[in-house]
Each structure stands twice: as structure tokens, then as C-alpha cells.
Amino acid sequence: MSLMCAILQALELLLIRNYIPQRSFFIALGHDEEVSGVNGAQKISALLQARGIQLAFIVDEGSFLLDGFIPNLQKPFAMVAVSEKGAINLMLQVNMTPGHSSAPPKETSIGILAAAVSRLEQTPMPNMFGGGPLKMALQQLANEFPFPANIVLSNLWLFQPLVSRLMERNYITNALVRTTTALTMFNAGVKVNVIPPVAQATINFRIHPAQTVQEVLKLAKDIVADDRIQFHVLNAFDPLPVSPSDDQALGYQLLRQTIQSVFPEVNIVAPGTCIGNTDSRHYTNLTTGIYRFNPIYLQPQSFSSIHGINEKISVQAYETQVKFIFEFIQNADADPRPVPHLHEL
Ligand SMILES: CCCCCCCCCCCCCCCCCC(=O)N[C@@H](Cc1ccccc1)C(=O)O
């Protein structure tokens, strides 16, 4: 929400200064991002496609200036998400004969389903470290760590098994190395003394970039391993393609340039994966350059306030968001050629 306001406020500032852009900019603000974007972003994207429009790149929310997410890394760094996890909303259902609770059968629909979802929760999907942009990000960050972490991260060919295990230790970095399994809904029973005929549970999987919907469904079926349980895929999509982040990648380099100008204290801009989903996934038909970055600092302690209690942004952080968008639009307008990244010796 704050990013949307910052975009509008930055545009207002540009208008006040009579700014006339050289290239075309499209501002697409969907009204239903939090409930899938099907009637907003998806329709906007279809309309632009019907008008024959191709985009150089797009920028959306989804990643931040990260501060304190990796132990021993003292300084914050900017993570521009060049990919986004896929997702499956899977409904499991058990149908059993209803009856009087005074003489219950050995197993009920609730018991069977509870055991199945518990097996899913207790059996994490495989650790896929090395199969997405994360490895590249850690290699770029290596020199920011003190000894011996710098040596470990510079030699992932040797230490990959160790680092992949360390990433599992907290639930946020864990989400970067595997498909996550979240039990989000459970419905069964309407009366205290009736054995319910139907029990339903919904599981929200977020798919690691190195896996597909079909692979995750197969793993889930193998874990559940109970023919009495029906699988209903409510909706699903594969992880998003990885957008370029090399020296020629216009959108990525413009973000890097603007981050270095607005946040001079940040040394590293690294590519990453967005663990949530954004409206940007509806625009893959218009560009191969999709970048997710919100120019604010995020600390682990404020992560739980996203979609949680007391979600907030400081006035100063909001002002910096506006400044970032204001500069970014002008940087993107200045020169169509990418700004090369200067490697330090
Ligand atoms: C090298 C270590 C780095 C540590 C990385 C830490 C990353 C922490 C940042 C993660 C924040 C992710 C927030 C993404 C915003 C997503 C917005 C959102 O909530 N979208 C909904 C969209 C949706 C999708 C499908 C149905 C309904 C809504 C979502 O649930 O993903």
C-alpha cells in the first residue's frame, strides 16, 4: 500500500515540476493484488498485449533492503527479486459414513485428515539450495562476512551441504531453500454429537524455483499415502522465470544505480527470489525483465507485521520511497542503454 502511495506521490512531484518523459511509462495499480490479481493485473496485462505493447522491464513489490536476516552479516544489502516462487492451493477431502458420536468408528474423517496434514507438516519438501538465484546472492555477499564465513561462502562448491543446512535454521531463510508447506484451512463437523461425513483441509505450498507444480503434487501424494484422501487442486502456477541480472539487464542495472544513489550506505545489490507472490506474475507475456523491489529497510522482527498486527511504515521511510521512485523514473528516462556495474578490484 505504501509503495502504491509513493508511486502516486512521486508522479505528482514530477507533474508539479512539469516533467515530460521521453519514453513511455505505464503505472499499473491492480485493486485485487491481495486476492490473486485476476480481475486487476491480469486484465491490465491482457489489454496491453491486445494493444501490441512490449515492455523493456517492469518493477513491482516483493523484496527489500534486508537488514539482519543473515547471522554475522553486519551491513544491510539490497535484494532485487529476479524470480518468484510458484504456488499450489491444495484441498484435501475425506468422505466417511456419518453417525452418532456415542458409538464412534475406529477412524473418523477428521482423524484421517488430521493425520494426513500432520504428515505433510512434519515432512518438509526437499532442500533445493543451489537451484535458484540464492546461491549467486550468497557468492556476491561473501566478502561482506567476517572470517571464516567469507571463505565458506566463496567456496560453495565445497561448503554447499553445510550452507544449505544452515539456511534451514530459521523459517525465513528456510523458505528460500525449499518449497514450503503451510496448513491454512481446516473444516469439519457441525454438531457436538455427530461424526461428520466430510472433512476438508487446504494446504498452501510455495514452490521453489527449481521445482514444478507436478513435482510437488507427486511428493505430496507420496507423503499422504492414503487412498481415502481426495486431492483437489484449487489453483496452481509454476515458479516465475528468472529475469536477467547481468550487466546488460536494463531494469536490474537501473535499480542498482538508483539504490546506490538513494542508499549510499548499501554496498551490495544482489539478485534473489520473492517468497510471496506479486501481481508481476501476470505480466510475463509483456517482458522477460521482471524485478521486485520495494525501497525500504526490512528487519526480521518487522517481517511478521507484513499481513500481521500493526503493519506500519515510518514517515521517513515513506519519504525515501517517494524519493526513490522520483529518481528511478528519471534514471530510466535518461538513457536507454544499461548502466554497467563497476566491479571493485
Ligand atoms: C540471503 C537471505 C535473504 C533473506 C531473505 C528474506 C526475505 C524476506 C522478505 C520477504 C517478503 C515477501 C513479501 C512479498 C510480498 C508479497 C505480497 C503478498 O502478500 N502477496 C500475496 C498474493 C496472493 C497470491 C495468491 C492468492 C492470494 C494472494 C501472497 O500471498 O503471496
> 165 CA distance to ligand 1 centroid (A)?
22
Q: Assess whether the C-beta atom of 236 lies below 6 angstroms from ligand 1.
A: no
Burial of 103 (0-12, 13-18, 19+ CB in 10 A): exposed
Domain chopping of the chain, boundaries: 28-84+241-311, 86-237
Question: Atom 20 (ligand 1): residue with closest C-alpha?
Answer: 277
Report the atom number in ligand 1 closest to the C-alpha of 134. Answer: 1
Q: Assess whether the C-beta atom of 275 lies below 6 angstroms from ligand 1.
A: yes
Calculate the CA dihedral of residues 303, 306, 309, 312 and round it to 10 degrees.
90
> 275 CA distance to ligand 1 centroid (A)?
5
ipTM: 0.92
- Please tell me the number of Cα atoms within 13 Å of 14 on its side-chain side: 21
Q: Count Cβ atoms below 10 Å from residue 322 Cβ, excluding itself.
A: 21
Instruction: State which of 3, 34, 281, 291 you would mutate to test the pocket of ligand 1, scoring each by most atoms of that ligand within 8 A of its C-beta.
Output: 34
106-119 pLDDT, tens digit per residue, is: 999 999 999 999 99
Instruction: State which of 36, 180, 278, 304 you would mutate to test the pocket of ligand 1, scoring each by most atoms of that ligand within 8 A of its C-beta.
Output: 278
Question: What does CATH list as the number for 28-84+241-311?
Answer: 3.40.630.10
Instruction: Determine whether domain 86-237 maps to CATH 3.40.50.2000.
Output: no
CB 295 within 8 A of CB 320: yes
pLDDT greater than 80 at residue 331 = yes
231-278 pLDDT, tens digit per residue, is: 999 999 999 999 999 999 999 999 999 999 999 999 999 999 999 999
Rounded to 10°, the helix 250-262/315-334 angle is 130
Instruction: State which of 39, 84, 207, 277 you would mutate to test the pocket of ligand 1, scoring each by most atoms of that ligand within 8 A of its C-beta.
Output: 277
User: How far is residue 15's CA from residue 190's CA, in Å, rounded to a whole number?
Assistant: 58
**Whole-structure pTM value:** 0.92
Calculate mean pLDDT across residues 167-172.
Answer: 92
The grid coordinates of residue 210 equal 527449481
